[in-house]
Structure 1
Amino acid sequence: MTYPNWLSQRAYLTGNQLALSFGKNEWTFSEVNELALDYAGKLAHFGITQHSRVALLSKSNAEAVFVIYGCMQIGCEMVMLNERLAGAELAYQLEDAGVDRVFADAELIEKVAGAQPVSFDELKLAKPAVFPLKTEWAKQQTISIMYTSGTTGNPKGVRQTAENHFSSAVSSALNLGVSPDDVWLCTVPLFHISGFSILMRSLVYGMGVRLYGKFDAAVCADELSKGQVTHSSMVGVMLEQVLREIEQRELRVSPRFKQILAGGGPVPVSYLQRAEAHGIQVLQTYGMTETSSQTTTLQTADAKTKLGSAGKPLFLYQVKIDGAQAAGEHGEILIRGPQVTPGYIGQFKDRPVLVDGWLATGDIGYLDAEGFLFVVDRRSDLIVSGGENVYPAEIEKVLMAHPAVREAGVCGMPDDRWGEVPAAFVVLDAGETAEQLPAFCRSQLAGYKVPKTFRVVGSLPRSASNKLLRRELKKWL
């Protein structure tokens, strides 16, 4: 089975609809399609064909979108490089992926200088060559490749196919609904699955994307108030900063704004309650690079009664807990469905993704009696203290409910008696101290879960998608 070329089909169906806005510029789907065809010709000028694998290193901007879409018109595979990585980290990924060409923003090109990259400026000036347009895409055609964050060992290059992206978009639409005037506020990186999937939804739905180069809480608060956007994707720390802007500036959120999809780990219930007070519906989601974005999402009707849950699986997917015999039992989250990657590339290409048809996520969670998923923590972040399992995310949620705490991160610290004990790093409001935090934690947590040390820091280590990097906290110890 094949899909029609999404860009051509979307331009044909709703060519006059808003496709993209960046800064003061806007483009319709017809205009985006024409630009993508032009960029495809320029890529062909450098020898790129449907059999090529190219690497893209860019900030989130309109030109990056046009290059991505140009690659899709040709049908080549795209390795999406993280602009925040060091040169040595990028070199590993380029070698592992065995790319044919590297295309990069002029300001980032030094990071990949050894790979003889082509700058976007060179690409833009190239004379387009004739190329065979991919009018149909095979379901198993690899569109994007993204490297996992590599919490253990070397990062793995994850393939994401046309079927992966399409099933993700369709399943999300069946949950959220689709309206012709929807516009998604995108402040998450395009090289990350959270940002890339917004572009894929745009093509499948005919939905506009309001793109920003980076996250800015004040800008996001303005966008939610102006009424030009209807959806956004954020992680917990981003949501809290936007809520703080809205509260401090006494802004009114536009009734046109519908939902925020919150991923990247459990969101504190206090954040969800604050958002609700401003008329912002926050739907927690759960997914990963290997599942091409969401696998579960809390439905609108359940948002109030299941606070803290990541919801039920989207329509085409299945989720179970490894070894669980009853509701509420903790175990590794297993996933099955057409959104799951068919495999890895490079040194991990022979590693099986599925065991008996299921993807083992490495995350710990449980299903309640009604089948709602609650994500507890990363298995690799688990603290075992005196034989008891301690989940950092549980402690972080308690800490972030304290009015003085803006951010919190918890990791395991070696201990001669207990093996490991929790250690907390907190970002506090100006003028506040950590003196009240031990007692606050003891009032809500078992004694062995209370951090044995509280360190006040200016900021916490985060990935490009604003996920907390607990492995970096361990280095700080």
Structure 2
Amino acid sequence: MENWLVKRAKLDPDKIALILEHADFTFGELNSTVQAFAGKLYTSGIRKNDPVALFSDNCFNGYVAILALQQLGARTIFLDTELPLETLTYQVNDCQPKTILISDSAHTDEIVKINWDKVFMSEVLSMNGNLDYQPVSEYPTEEIASVFYTPSADKNDTGVMLTYGNYFYSAMGTSLNLGINKRDVWVLSLPTFNIPGFSIIMRSLIYGISVYLIDGFDINLINKILINERATIISLTPPLLRELLNGLPRGQRYNEHFRCVFLGTGLIDSWTVLRCNMLDIPVLQTYGMTETTANISALNFNDAEIKSGSCGQPFFTTQIRITNINQDNVGCIEVKSPTVALGYLNKDELFQSRFTEDGFFKTGDVGYLDDDNFLYLKGRQADLIYIADKIVYPEEVENVFRSVNGIKDICVVGTKSRAGKTVPIAYLTLRDNAFLTSANLADFGKHNLLNYQVPMEYRQIDEFPRSTNGKILRNRLVDLEYKVI
């Protein structure tokens, strides 16, 4: 495929590509800016197929750097700017980049401590462009475009290698489902160093649509854009959606062109769905993961009401099946799709172990398909709580409790009781001035859940450990101080 940015600049040179708080860039202007930056990166010594680690927030220079590295044909390895030094050090040693390219606006306290060749973007900008530089002419479908690190079963983060072909088929599946058109404007508030955020950049080039770039999850700014500007789509996770709704000024509605919240990373609770319905905010729940290049199924507009709670049907480019079905008619979600990653960096054996004999990828999630082939997600297989012959699906329990006034957020995990039996335990954060007791919560649980689903203990904590997309990190809860309420 022809270089996507160069191609888009030829097709739509005057179309707005990127919208910042105080400036807009057309595809022609963006291409010129990116090529100038790529020439300076070429001067710094970066060449085709070089692995380059990128440490950047959602700033303009970071956006340009992502596209500039693609012009050089480099492999971009995305580093999460919120990671502790130990994890960053492991990832850098694992991927062995030629250099680490750092945004001057990112939180650099940890990354500067790593003993590795690194360069700040301000240093690159001060260089002269190399006259010999030429952008790559094509993006081969099997060429690695990016590497994203994701938690792995072996306790060490794993680099997921995604190709240009992965991104193209992902964009095609999303477009066929949502009916993307040139008038769409996608709000990019998720971090670009995670696959859901970065995928929006790739879709912009493929579709020729505009992107609002938000640096940091600024609730007031995002709501202001969704109310007053011509934004049509925003990608969010359930926790971020709840924050956005809590910050929406009373009586306000999003602009008349707004089409949907494209929701990923976990289940959404019924109370949040109800709030969105009352505010005329369409929510399209999706399903996907880093290894599948983000979304591989999603609700569409026609089915959003009648199939509420579903992640929609598999995209046209994707097959999904359910295996090892248990007594609840829930089983393991397996996928076959051209969006499945090329492999794991330095862990080929682990990657191959994720496939069945007939080529389906084992996602590690559980759910079911209804009679109309709509997917319903029940959670991660590793998070399920087994109590005798019963199974507790933690996210279901959490979503029931989120309707309780005073609960800010909740996470349910299984732990061993003194008698050696596995029981569900709830970790909670409470709103200011909330007064809730274990007796209150247990009584609520007994009226809304089956007995074995009701948590045996309620532990109040100050704050949940979260990933940068808002997802609670369950495996870190056991290390937190708590108070039994």
Shorter-chain TM range is: over 0.9
Query: Are the counterparts in 2 of residues 151 and 471 from structure 1 also a CA contact under 8 Å?
Result: no
| 1:440–1:151 CA distance, 2 compared to 1 (3 A) | farther
Q: Which amino acid aligns with 2:343?
A: G
Of 434, 455, 458, 2:459 maps to: 455
Deviations 1:213-248 (A, max 9, x none): 1112222222221132110011111111222222x5
- The offset of 1:325, in angstroms, is 9.3
SS at match of 2:217: coil
- The offset of 1:271, in angstroms, is 1.0
- Indicate yes or no: 2:125 matched with 1:124: yes
Deviations 1:228-275 (A, max 9, x none): 2110011111111222222x5221221211000111101112211210
Q: What is the correspondence of 1:381-392 to structure 2 with a 5 Å cutoff? A: 381-392=383-394
Structure 2 distance, partners of 1:329, 1:344, is 31
Structure 2 distance, partners of 1:470, 1:109, is 26
- Indicate yes or no: 2:138 matched with 1:136: yes
Structure 1 distance, partners of 2:97, 2:6, is 27
Query: Are the counterparts in 2 of residues 96 and 347 from structure 1 also a CA contact under 8 Å?
Result: no
Structure 1 distance, partners of 2:344, 2:46, is 22
- The offset of 1:350, in angstroms, is 6.4
Query: Are the counterparts in 2 of residues 217 and 238 from structure 1 also a CA contact under 8 Å?
Result: no
- The offset of 1:446, in angstroms, is 1.3
Match of 2:199 in 1: 197
Structure 2 distance, partners of 1:346, 1:31, is 38
Match of 1:177 in 2: 179
Match of 1:473 in 2: 477
Structure 2 distance, partners of 1:222, 1:271, is 20
- The offset of 1:433, in angstroms, is 2.0
Match of 1:316 in 2: 317
Deviations 1:111-139 (A, max 9, x none): 23311210111111111122232111110
Match of 2:91 in 1: 93
Let me know the Cα RMSD of the aligned residues.
1.7
Structure 2 distance, partners of 1:347, 1:315, is 30
Query: Are the counterparts in 2 of residues 109 and 119 from structure 1 also a CA contact under 8 Å?
Result: no
In the alignment of these two chains, the number of paired residues is: 473
Of 170, 174, 195, 1:168 maps to: 170
Q: Which amino acid aligns with 1:132?
A: Q
Query: Are the counterparts in 1 of residues 167 and 293 from structure 2 also a CA contact under 8 Å?
Result: yes
Match of 2:219 in 1: 217
- Indicate yes or no: 2:122 matched with 1:111: no
- The offset of 1:390, in angstroms, is 1.2
Identity %: 32
Q: What is the correspondence of 1:14-413 to structure 2 with a 5 Å cutoff? A: 14-106=12-104, 107-113=106-112, 114-129=115-130, 130-150=132-152, 152-246=154-248, 249-324=250-325, 329-348=329-348, 351-352=351-352, 353-355=354-356, 356-413=358-415
Q: Which amino acid aligns with 1:234?
A: L
Q: Structure 1: which 5+ runs fail to align?
A: none
| 1:242–1:325 CA distance, 2 compared to 1 (3 A) | closer
23-32 or 383-392, which moves further after superposition?
383-392
Q: Which amino acid aligns with 1:254?
A: N
Q: Which amino acid aligns with 1:64?
A: G
Structure 2 distance, partners of 1:193, 1:30, is 26
Query: Are the counterparts in 2 of residues 413 and 474 from structure 1 also a CA contact under 8 Å?
Result: no
- Indicate yes or no: 2:437 matched with 1:438: no
- The offset of 1:392, in angstroms, is 1.0
Q: Structure 2: which 5+ runs fail to align?
A: none
| 1:341–1:412 CA distance, 2 compared to 1 (3 A) | same
Q: Which amino acid aligns with 1:340?
A: V
